[in-house]
Structure formats: C-alpha cells, structure tokens
C-alpha cells in the first residue's frame, strides 16, 4: 500500500471515530466503565489522538518518540475538543505528500531509549493499526452500554479481517467500504 492508500484508510477510520463521538454526550464520553477496567472512552480517544500528534511533531525533525506524548487530560474530558483535534489530525494526514526516513525512539523497559529506523508510511501504518485496536475496544463498550449508537459493521476490524470475512465468512456480502 502506498502513502495515498494509507492516508485514505487512516482518514476513513478517524472519521468513523468522529462519527462515534458525534453520537455520544460528553457525559457518556467521560463515564468510567467496568467493561473498560474503570477507564472512559475518552481515555482511549485521547491515547489515539496523542500518538498521531506525536507522529506529526516528530516529522518536523525526523524523529518520533511516542513516549513523549503530552497526555492532555482535556482530550479525554471534552468530547468537542477531541472532535476538533481529530479534524486537525485528519487535515495533517491529508497533507502528507511523500514517504521519508524517520527514526523512532522508544523505551522498552531498558535504561535508555533505543532508536529504530522507520519511515513516514511505516509510522502512519502503525498509527492506523493502533487506532483500529482501540476502535475494537470501544466497539465492545458501545455495544454493551449504548446499543442506540450506529457503527459501521467494519468498525474496529483490521483490514485483513474485513478481507477474510468478505471471501470466507460472508462471500456474498460486500463490506461497507
């Protein structure tokens, strides 16, 4: 998949998250649920947003360090701010024009961070898969607590799962994408 495909898939998934947020009240967004181990949907959303933000901050100097995210608690308590921030992330994704080499710094429990060679496309793919992972968790919460919320049948599914389902599970049913 080239950068255009990654951009399109990323934007599609982030718009699905915005669609979810538009169906929730701020109270529902911030409620802490036993099903989420006492966390709120807002905490999951903040986490997704901040990884994208750290990715874009790192593009400025060619080095991404997801450990440096801001942990802006307003993103998990203010649904409107989360939507506005998603809109900005979507614009940033749409403005990506090429793949370049990046360095990712990460601490995996050692004394100091390690440096990994990466690229814009690789990190965009990482953020896409990370968002889908959190979407899957949010889908479980939504189905349990908010059955009135309408989600795409593909919400929170990996693209490989969608493709598998189309060809093996329900070969005559087309996906919503």
Beta strands in 49-145 (DSSP E): 63-64, 101-106, 114-119
What pLDDT score does 157 carry?
Answer: 83
Q: What would the pLDDT profile of 35-83 be if each residue is shown by its tens digit?
A: 999 999 999 999 999 999 999 999 999 999 999 999 999 999 999 999 9
Domains of the chain: which residue ranges? 3-149
Please check whether the domain covering 3-149 is classified as CATH 1.10.3080.10. Answer: no
Q: Which of 68, 64, 22 is nearest to 45 (CA)?
A: 22
Burial class (CB in 10 A: 0-12, 13-18, 19+), 46: buried
What pLDDT score does 39 carry?
Answer: 97
Q: What would the pLDDT profile of 120-162 be if each residue is shown by its tens digit?
A: 999 999 999 999 999 999 999 999 999 999 999 899 988 777 7
Distances (CA, A) of 127 to 66, 165, 166: 11, 23, 24
What is the average pLDDT across 77-106?
A: 97
Say which residues have a Cβ less than 8 Å from residue 140's Cβ, sequence separation at least 6.
35
The DSSP bridge pattern shows strands 101-106 and 39-40 to be: unpaired
């Amino acid at each position: 998949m080239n950068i255009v495909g990654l951009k399109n898939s990323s934007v599609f998934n982030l718009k699905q998250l915005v669609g979810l947020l538009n169906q929730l009240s701020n109270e529902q967004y911030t409620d802490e649920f036993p099903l989420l181990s006492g966390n709120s949907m807002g905490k999951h959303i903040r986490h997704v947003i901040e990884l994208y933000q750290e990715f874009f901050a790192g593009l400025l100097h060619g080095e991404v360090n997801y450990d440096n995210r801001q942990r802006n608690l307003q993103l998990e308590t203010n649904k409107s701010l989360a939507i506005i921030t998603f809109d900005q992330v979507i614009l940033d994704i749409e403005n990506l024009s090429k793949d370049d080499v990046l360095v990712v710094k990460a601490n995996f429990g050692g004394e100091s961070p390690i440096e990994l060679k990466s690229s814009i496309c690789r990190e965009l793919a990482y953020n896409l898969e990370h968002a889908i992972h959190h979407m899957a968790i949010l889908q479980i919460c939504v189905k349990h607590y908010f059955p009135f919320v309408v989600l795409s049948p593909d919400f929170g599914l990996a693209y490989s799962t969608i493709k598998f389902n189309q060809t093996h599970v329900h070969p005559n049913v087309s996906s919503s994408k």
